Amino acid sequence: MNKLDKRNFTYLNQLVNSREKTIKLEHDIILEEDEMFPEGITITEDNTTIDGNGHTIDAKKLTRIFKVKAKNVTLDNMSLKNGYSNKNGGAIYNARNSNLKIINLKIINNTARWGGAIRNYGTLKIFHSIIKKNKAKKGAGIYTAKKTKVTIYNSKIISNTARWGGGIHNYGRLRILKSRITKNCAKKAGAIYNTKKATMHIGNSSLISNNGRWGGCIYNYGFLNVLQSTINENTSKKGAAIYNKGGKIHIKSSKFHNNTVEFSYNKKRDMLLYGKGGAIFNYSGKINMENTTLKNNIAEYCGGAIHNRKTAKMNLTDTTLKNNKASYGGAITNEGTMSINECELSENIAQEEGFVEYGGAINNTGLLMVEESTFLSNNSVEGGGAIHNEKKGIVSITDTLLADNTSFDGGAVSNGGKLTIKNCILTHNEAQEDGGAIDNFKYGIISISDTSLTKNKADNGGSISNTGHLGISNSIIDNNIANHSGGAIANTSIFTLREMTTFSGEMTIENSNITSNTAENAGAITNSGFLNITESIVCNNHSDDGINIQNNGKIMMKNTKIQ
């Protein structure tokens, strides 16, 4: 192998057109200024293999390197650099009906309008290769057209730059296996832009440290499957790992860690436009996720890990969301439809100076269904240590544990919408002010059944604070503490200047036990609203004033034991 003894494109063209099926390079190839190859070296013979033998082909930023118009072509063991096309494929153009296999290639520093390194119209397979530092308007690494097939195996796509799809722009069928896609950059889709009706499968791969304004790593319109892959440390304004617009996504056994979105303020429109969905922004479409972890993601505005927009749908199963952070919705903001099954949400935080800070784990304005899940040690500054449900939101929580969550109001849950809690355990939650476990606002409607609320703590309403409508049945409220009043429950009234109206809490308690709660005033219940208790037990509660139920409102009791 002679690296010093170089040959030109004319020499390479003669080799390629010699009709030899296997060509082995013995020299580096460099384009000379007086050579004219506007389409690059065209390969027209089927079953051609070019063994680069470790050599480099340099087009000096003057032309494309290869145009493939044949079947079963193999490029092996070479470097392709400084290719250029004002249209398609700076290094390689793979024509329609062509089949190209790339093995052990380095494709570096090439430029084109579409496909800075490769423009593909046929079938393309890439093995053990590096595609690096290429530039294009679309698909700086690879641009693949409709009705095409691309397989990338054990390869690296690194530091490419485009407006759309820094690494790859896909219109066809794309498979990425055991590969690494990192440090690519674009306005949309820092790593991969997957268009409408396109199909993409990512398996056992790493997509790390990519950047794009929308979709720091992936922008998806089509069909996307992510399996056993890592999508970490990407950055964006919306959806640092994935931005989904109308596509269908299935994610399984994968990791989304340390992704970040930054907020941006639009003075002209007087609104925040960005900073949503630290890992995933689901604008529209449907996402199914299972056995996946979302950890240490940050959104400077909302949805530390996930932002699910109004028309979007998302299902999470057997998934962990841990230590994510945002101004509100530390892990998730849901405006659309979302189901959470057998998931763990822990140590998420809603905290960002200068913004509202609700929903340590989840902030909801849409339809949210939670089943057989766990919320542990989440925190929000203002309300809903685990979950905050806003006025238009609808939430159902079933067979779920909410423990050790903290907030100013509503240690576990704060609610202004419609909320159903069934067969749950709320324990060791704490609020600085109202509702150690639950704070129900003036327009809030809550139904609680077959649920245990124990060992929660607040200033008022050790377990529950209510100024809305709240019904409790077949439940246990035990061993809660209020520093001031209502060891178990504070059912209150408030006067608001805005509405010039007094809102009184309306609460019914049926077939429930309120026992062993403690407060300075009213060991069990303080009431200044409307309270109806039937078929219940209110016993062994303790207060400094010796009062079990303090009533300054209206109260009705039937078949209830008070002791």
Contact 475, 446 (CB under 8 A): no
pLDDT, tens digit (0-9, with 9 covering 90-100), for 477-502 = 999 999 999 999 999 986 544 555 55
- For 508: left if phi > 0, alpha if psi spans -120 to 50, otherwise beta; the answer is beta
Residue 504 confidence (pLDDT): 77
The verdict on residue 99 lying in a domain is: no
Query: Is residue 473, in this structure, part of any structural domain at all?
Result: yes
Please give the residue range of the domain that contains residue 488: 383-562
Q: Write out the two tokens for 26.
A: 């013995």
Contacts of 267 (CB under 8 A, 6+ apart): none
Residue 388 lies in a domain: yes
Residue 389 placed within a domain:
yes
Contact 392, 365 (CB under 8 A): yes
Residue 370 lies in a domain: no
Give every residue of the chain whose pLDDT is below 50, as ranges: 1, 496-497
- When the pLDDT of each residue in the chain is averaged and rounded to a whole number, the result is 95
Q: What is the pLDDT of residue 272?
A: 56
Show the tokens assigned to 169: 């722009």
For residue 138, what is the DSSP state? B
Q: What angle do CA 407, 388, 473 make, to 5 degrees?
A: 95
Residue 526 lies in a domain: yes
Residue 501: predicted pLDDT? 54
| Domain contains 499 | yes
- A 10 A CB-CB count for 553 gives 18
284-305, pLDDT tens digit by residue?
999 999 999 999 999 999 999 9
**Residues 377 and 345 sit within 8 Å (Cβ to Cβ):** no
17 falls within a domain: no
Global confidence as pTM: 0.95
Count of domains in the chain? 1
pLDDT on residue 497:
44
- The per-residue pLDDT for 354 is 55
- Per-residue confidence (pLDDT) for residue 511, from 0 to 100: 98
Go through the chain and tell me how many residues it has: 563
- pLDDT the model gives residue 461: 98
